[in-house]
């Protein structure tokens, strides 16, 4: 048994905590998988690199409307894949090498294995080399992230399937891809593989894609997706079987009865679940909620003094920028136990790098209505701003919700080109309390930039004038 000042479990955002300010601490880091966590290895970074190449591959399908005739002669899948992971894999390996051997980490021990609590603040690690170690510590950080959910579908295990963990590493593009799911991951991979020439089918249990977005956004996205892909709404996948020709037959139930889809590969993208169940948390007294998320207070501390948690293992947002924020809070609180700071989750934005992009922050119109929160709405179509006109975008729009009394923005939702960037000034305004009236009128907005989408949505809010 070895005692440490600090043990960190997980090397995603958890790996950002230990720096030279911890030089006098005896620290252990436990990692059962690949250094860098979900974002670097199987999430944000590689998916956006694939999305960028997909955006390039999609240009010929739309350029002729502008009088520019282009042709896609092919997508070299293995070249795309190997360029992306040829950059990412060395970063993960370098992170591991740095923690294992660099002089900066002389006080730090890395355990390559799976940790589980076997007592109060006692962690047993089964290492990849077959050895077992028992660690105790004054303080722990739980940063074990999440993993894809795989629903039970008879026959699916036998025929084989992919998740976001594996789909980006396949050797050949399938001719037909069935995606079970209708959220962020499903939308992004539908764009990627469809742009590469794959016949994509989205299988959604609900009547909308991206149903957690503001309903107007979800309805518009669903309408656009139905023109791009084969979209099966209100379909529940009930079985999978391998056909003689090697293809996969998915049987689905819909309001119209039994439906069948034949594909070459299946991607399961129905959500992610926290990795809290791998830790045997009851042994140390840490509580989890009904959905398996580690319960934390405003300081990111669990129900056990000195045990903190951050990222997907505790956060409903499951976003890298949230995990990074929480890691900064945990770092401060570890170093300043008598002067701790709290996390700020008031205005957490997100974006979906689909086609088109979607971005949002704050309340949806449905949430405001259900909670009895008064609001006014300003809407602006991309088609009615100069740059949107140049792009001939006919489907994108932004909507902004504001408090009719104070003018404070309470929500913003965008679907369309560069939505992930266009939304940023709204996040800033919400975070620093700038009201919509002053935001629209008391600064220059570059003409004819895409940001005029936000300016005009703000100007359409029915707010009292200010002298």
Token pair listed for 125: 């690690």
447 in catalytic set: yes
Place of tokens 């977005």: 213
Catalytic residue among 101, 102, 345, 447: 447
Token pair listed for 58: 């999609």
Token pair listed for 384: 């009615």
- How far, CA to CA in Å, does 338 sit from each of 53, 303, 331, 332, 370? 49, 18, 13, 10, 40
- How far, CA to CA in Å, does 371 sit from each of 8, 62, 364, 368, 374? 39, 42, 11, 5, 9
What distance in Å separates the CA atoms of residue 360 and residue 357, rounded to the nearest whole number? 10
Strands 199-203 and 146-148: unpaired
SS3 of the chain: the string is CEEEEEEEECCCHHHHCCCHHHCCCCEEEEECCCCCHHHHHHCHHHHHHHHHHHHHHHCHHHHHHHCCCCCCCCCCHHHHHHHHHHHHHHHHHHHHHHHHHCHHHCCEEEEEEEEEEEECCEEEEEECCCCEEEEEEEEEEECCCEEECCCCCCCHHHHCCECCCCHHHCCCCCCEEEEECCCHHHHHHHHHHHHCCCEEEEECCCCCCCCCCCHHHHHHHHHHHHHHCEEECCCEEEEEEECCCCCEEEEEEECCEEEEEEECEEEECCCEEEHHHHCCHHHCCCCECCCCCECCCCCCECCCCCEEECHHHCCCCCCHHHHHHHHHHHHHHHHCCCCCCCCCCCCCCEEECCCCCEEEEECCHHHHHHCCCCCEEEEEEHHHCHHHHHHCCCCCEEEEEECCCCCEEEEEEEECCCHHHHCHHHHHHHHHCCEHHHHHHCCCCCCCCCCHHHHHHHHCCCCCCCC
Catalytic residues, which ones?
A: 447
């Amino acid at each position: 048994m070895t005692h440490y000042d600090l043990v960190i479990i997980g090397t995603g955002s958890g790996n950002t905590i230990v720096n030279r300010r911890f030089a006098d601490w005896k620290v252990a880091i436990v990692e059962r998988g690949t250094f860098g966590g979900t974002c670097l290895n199987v999430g944000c970074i590689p998916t956006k690199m694939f999305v960028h190449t997909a955006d390039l591959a999609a240009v010929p399908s739309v350029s002729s409307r502008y009088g520019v005739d282009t042709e896609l002669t092919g997508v070299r899948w293995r070249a795309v894949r190997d360029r992306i992971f040829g950059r990412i894999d060395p970063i993960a390996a370098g992170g591991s090498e740095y923690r294992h051997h660099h002089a900066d980490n002389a006080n730090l021990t890395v355990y390559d294995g799976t940790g589980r609590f076997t007592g109060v603040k006692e962690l047993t690690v089964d290492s990849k080399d077959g050895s077992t170690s028992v660690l105790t510590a004054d303080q722990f950080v739980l940063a074990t992230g999440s993993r894809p959910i795989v629903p039970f579908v008879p026959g699916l295990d036998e025929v084989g399937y992919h998740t976001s963990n594996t789909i980006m590493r396949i050797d050949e593009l399938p001719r037909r891809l069935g995606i079970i799911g209708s959220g962020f991951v499903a939308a992004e991979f539908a764009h990627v593989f469809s742009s590469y020439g794959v016949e994509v089918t989205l299988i959604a249990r609900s009547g909308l894609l991206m149903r957690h977005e503001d309903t107007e956004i979800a309805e518009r996205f669903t309408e656009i997706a139905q023109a791009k892909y084969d979209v099966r709404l209100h379909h529940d996948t009930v079985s999978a079987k391998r056909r003689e020709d090697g293809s996969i037959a998915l049987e689905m139930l819909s309001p119209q009865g039994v439906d069948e889809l034949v594909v070459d590969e299946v991607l399961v993208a129905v959500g992610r679940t926290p990795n809290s169940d791998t830790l045997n948390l009851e042994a140390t007294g840490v509580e989890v909620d009904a959905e398996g998320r580690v319960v934390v207070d405003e300081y990111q501390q669990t129900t056990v003094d000195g045990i903190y948690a951050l990222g997907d293992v505790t956060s409903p947002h499951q976003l890298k920028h949230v995990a990074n924020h929480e890691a900064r809070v945990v770092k401060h609180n570890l170093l300043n136990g008598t002067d701790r700071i709290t996390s700020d989750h008031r205005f957490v934005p997100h974006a979906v790098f689909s086609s088109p992009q979607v971005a949002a922050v704050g309340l949806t119109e449905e949430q405001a209505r259900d909670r009895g929160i008064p609001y006014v709405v300003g809407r602006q179509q991309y088609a009615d701003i100069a740059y949107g006109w140049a792009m001939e975008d006919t489907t994108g729009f932004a909507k902004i919700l504001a408090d009719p009394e104070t003018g404070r923005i309470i929500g913003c939702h965008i679907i369309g080109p560069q939505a992930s960037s266009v939304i940023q000034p709204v996040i800033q305004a919400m975070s620093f309390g700038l009201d919509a009236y002053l935001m629209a009128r008391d600064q220059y907005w570059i003409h004819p930039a895409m940001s005029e989408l936000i300016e005009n949505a703000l100007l359409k809010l029915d707010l009292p004038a200010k002298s």
